[in-house]
Amino acid sequence: MLPAIACWLLFTQWLPAEVERYRQYTVAEPCAAGVSAPWWEDCLRTGTFTVERVVVDRGSKSSSFRATLNGAPFENGVTVSFGDPGPLLQVLRPRDEVAATTWRGDIVVLERDGVRQSTSEEPRHESQMTAALGTLLGLVAALALGFGSVRLLRPRAVEPFTWRRYGKALFFTMLGTCFAVGFPAMWLGLPWQVVPVVAVAIVGFVARQLHRHRRPTAGVSASENDTEADARKR
């Protein structure tokens, strides 16, 4: 039930909001010059900020790349995060001045001497990975529904629809397929709709092949059912 609900929320709420936010960012216009800078603007404003602190921590378990800046409208200082240290963050020093672009209350890009670097707050065209996660959740929900239905309809003859014989291999196939399709789709800039179509087709084909090769014979099925029945009696 939980994977199904999460899948529904992801495709109906999270993904559309992410796509729309990226679209709005790409069409945002520069803010009007000569107007005081409020905290939240639906336009792109570039201002000069002073670097107060830089953190470049390449830890073995976790890394942290941050810069604390001071400038209007963030007179009390604001800390922005980055996904990696380069090309700009790693060369910044306290008291350096940088040009920062803000949008809707977030600093999205820093620039200094022609070198630009996006912050973690900049909207990105990564809806393909969101679709990959949603597809995985949907497939897991379908797997659970199928296995649960078999156990309800024929509790004494569940083979091969068990975790050991069928479920484990199918689950890891789903996991690998969704992200193996999602990452290339993101790198190539393909529409997110490609991800669920391709991933479901691949998983469906693999499921058919697994079912064909792992279908128990009548003798094996009867023997395993008798074993399960004896185990229940004990």
Alpha carbons 213 and 8: distance in angstroms, whole number: 33
Span 172-194, mean pLDDT? 93
What is the DSSP annotation of the chain?
-HHHHHHHHIIIIIHHHHHHHHHHHHTPPBPPTTS---S--SSBEEEEEEEEEEEEEE-SS-EEEEEEEEETTEEEEEEEE-SSSTTTGGG--TT-EEEEEEETTEEEEEEETTEEEE-TTS--S-HHHHHHHHHHHHHHHHHHHHHHHHHHH-TT--TT-SIIIIIHHHHHHHHHHHHHHHHHHHHHT--TTHHHHHHHHHHHHHHHHHHHHHPPPHHHHHHHHHHHHHHHH-
pLDDT at residue number 207: 85
Per-residue pLDDT at 54 exceeds 60 = yes
Cα distances from 28 to residues 16, 42, 196, in angstroms, run: 18, 7, 30
- Contact call for residues 142 and 134 (beta carbons, < 8 A): no
pLDDT at residue number 47: 87
Alpha carbons 214 and 220: distance in angstroms, whole number: 11
pLDDT at residue number 175: 93
pLDDT at residue number 210: 79
Alpha carbons 12 and 94: distance in angstroms, whole number: 44
Comparing 21 with 36, the larger pLDDT belongs to 21
pLDDT tens for each residue of 104-156: 989 999 999 999 999 999 998 889 999 999 999 999 999 888 777 767 767 77
pTM of the model as a whole: 0.74
pLDDT at residue number 222: 47
For the chain, state the CA radius of gyration. Answer: 26
- Residue 164's pLDDT band (boundaries 50, 70, 90)? confident
Please state, for a pLDDT cut of 70, what percent of the chain lies above it.
82
Angle at 125 between CA 132 and CA 188, to 5 degrees: 75
174: which 2 tokens? Answer: 């789903």
Per-residue pLDDT at 216 exceeds 70 = no
What is the overall mean pLDDT for the chain?
Answer: 84
Which numeric CATH code is attached to 34-118? Answer: 2.40.50
Span 162-185, mean pLDDT? 87
Span 159-182, mean pLDDT? 84
- Residue 36's pLDDT band (boundaries 50, 70, 90)? low
Alpha carbons 55 and 91: distance in angstroms, whole number: 11
Q: Where are the domains of the chain?
A: 34-118, 127-233
